[in-house]
Amino acid sequence: MDSPELVIQANSRIEVLIQLDARKPEFFNEYFEIMVANSPISSLFYQIIAEIQKPMVALNKELINLGRIYAGVPEKIESDAGERHIVLFNYGNIPA
């Protein structure tokens, strides 16, 4: 893990976002330190724990012709079991 430094001015606030990108299931357990200058408290430690799980998807067909599909718009699909609907969700907020 990198060790970047950020200086926060006195009487100010900042929000820290920690994003984990994993390509396989794993368990993540790390600590990060906030050092406080000119204070009786020299350091604060925070623990980050994350469990990245393996997503499971089961399809009953090898090929599904989606044609044009838009996020959030149900698409009708003909299958052996009859008519089905599929909806694409853009959880990554990727522009489409």
pLDDT digits (tens, 9 = 90+) for 38-85: 778 778 888 888 888 776 666 666 666 777 778 888 888 777 777 878
- Bridge partners (DSSP) listed for residue 6: none
CA angle 22, 88, 58 (to 5 degrees): 65
77 burial type by CB count under 10 A (0-12 exposed, 13-18 middle, 19+ buried): middle
Nearest partner of 60 among 91, 82, 33, judged by Cα: 82
Inter-CA distances, 94 with 53, 71, 90, Å = 22, 10, 7
| pTM tops 0.75, yes or no | no
